[in-house]
Amino acid sequence: MIDFLFEYGIFLAEAITIVISIIVVLIVATSLLKKDKDKDEEKLEIINFNRKIKSIRRTFEKQTLSKKDFKKLVKTEKKEQDSQKNKRVFVLDFDGDSNASVVDSLRKEITAVLNFATEKDEVVVRLESPGGVVHGYGLGASQLKRIRDKKIPLTVSVDKVAASGGYLMACVADKIISAPFAIIGSIGVVAQVPNFHKILKKNDIDFELITAGEFKRTLTMFGENTDKAREKFTEQIEETHTLFKDFVNLNRNQIEIAKVATGEYWYGQKALELNLVDEIKTSDDLLLEKSLEAEIFEIRYKKKETLAEKINSSISLLIEKTISNLVFKQKNLH
């Protein structure tokens, strides 16, 4: 019994010590946050793709060639460097989720590029997205259109998937490149609304929805849906689909829109046959080819992790470990 009380006392002491530690961390964090408040949280990162590839190649050559051949190669490359490439290619990445949350970064990257890109240059967007919200991907497409409006050639490269909203964005490009097994298309609209009205009714739970305007709400999750509401909801979905089809047709008039706007998707080779894409090639091969004639710059707009975010992550991890350890020790005490 005495041993149990002693161990339990140690257990409580450890718990109190950890709580105090967390409080101290929070006090220090609050102080540091005031100092960190005015620091820039975002930055534009520019990576020279040509140099990156050259560095990889140089490492390989150094390991595989004789010293004599390696020196000869380096001397030859130095002479070639004197003739600088006039064309520039700016590479942006778009890895979209259902909310198109990375559109915000994309718009900043495009704004940065448009500040110094000319009609002689080119923009390549490596795009990956299964689609998502209409307004988000519509804004994404509008951002890419800014490049076209400046008459700067735009190429979209798809290695894995550009479906639905992803294809809405891709179709803006002058040229679409697709990997052989990339998923392309899905020109359609879908909406799903679960309804719990029967469950609520069964349990005698009332749900009231008050609106002004006949179609302020059509289908609801908790109220009783009517045929009239379903018809209006379907009408809205059809209108969105028509907008989608018209937008694709406007940007890629070589497509037989009635044939591809069924909501289906196709893999790269079939997508090429349907004129949904222009060429079968990976983004890696595309950039390697372009690096022979142009200077390539990868543009990233990065949001710096704030001190608050770092501290929150650390505290969450500390609390998680603490709870885990205390639970484990408490089990052992019994």
Rounded CA separation 133/163 (Å): 12
Q: Domain range spanning residue 116?
A: 42-186+264-303
Q: What is the CA 143 to chain-centroid distance, rounded?
A: 14
Terminal CA-CA length for the chain: 11
Rounded to the nearest 10°, the torsion over CA 56, 59, 60, 64 is 170
**Domain identity same for 129 and 276:** yes
Instruction: Please check whether residues 66 and 143 belong to one and the same domain.
Output: yes
Q: How far apart are CA 113 and CA 92, in angstroms?
A: 10
Residue 333: which pLDDT band, with cuts at 50, 70 and 90? very low
Element (H or E) spanning 143, and its range?
Answer: helix 134-149
What's this model's pTM, rounded to 2 decimal places?
Answer: 0.74
d(CA 114, CA 148): 11
Specify the higher pLDDT residue, 79 or 234.
234
The catalytic position among 164, 178, 186, 283 is 164
Residue 333 structure tokens: 């005490």
Q: Quick check: helix, strand or coil at residue 303?
A: strand
DSSP state letter for 134: H
| Mean predicted confidence (pLDDT) in 241-250 | 96
Q: What is the CA radius of gyration of the chain?
A: 29
Q: Say if residue 7 is in the same domain as residue 95.
A: no
- What tens digit of pLDDT does each residue of 161-193 get? 999 999 999 999 999 999 999 999 999 998 888
* Separation of alpha carbons 34 and 307, rounded Å: 10
Q: Which is more confident, 234 or 41?
A: 234
What per-residue confidence (pLDDT) applies to 55? Answer: 77
Residue of 39, 75, 216, 331 with catalytic role: 216
Lowest mean pLDDT: which of 121-125, 280-284, 312-316?
312-316
> pLDDT value at position 195?
84
- Residue 303 annotated in active site: no
Q: How confident is the model over 308-329, as a mean pLDDT?
A: 58
According to DSSP, the β-strands at 161-163 and 183-185 are parallel
Q: What percent of the chain has pLDDT over 90?
A: 50
Q: Are 19 and 120 members of one domain?
A: no
Higher pLDDT, 227 or 307: 227
Mean pLDDT within 258-265: 95
Is residue 58 located within the same domain as residue 36?
A: no
pLDDT at 91: 97
164 catalytic, yes or no? yes
122: buried, middle or exposed (CB in 10 Å: 19+, 13-18, 0-12)? buried
| 198 falls within a domain | yes
- 155 belongs to a structural domain: yes
Which of 86, 31, 11 lies closest to 307 in space, CA to CA?
31
Instruction: Confirm whether 259 is domain-assigned.
Output: no
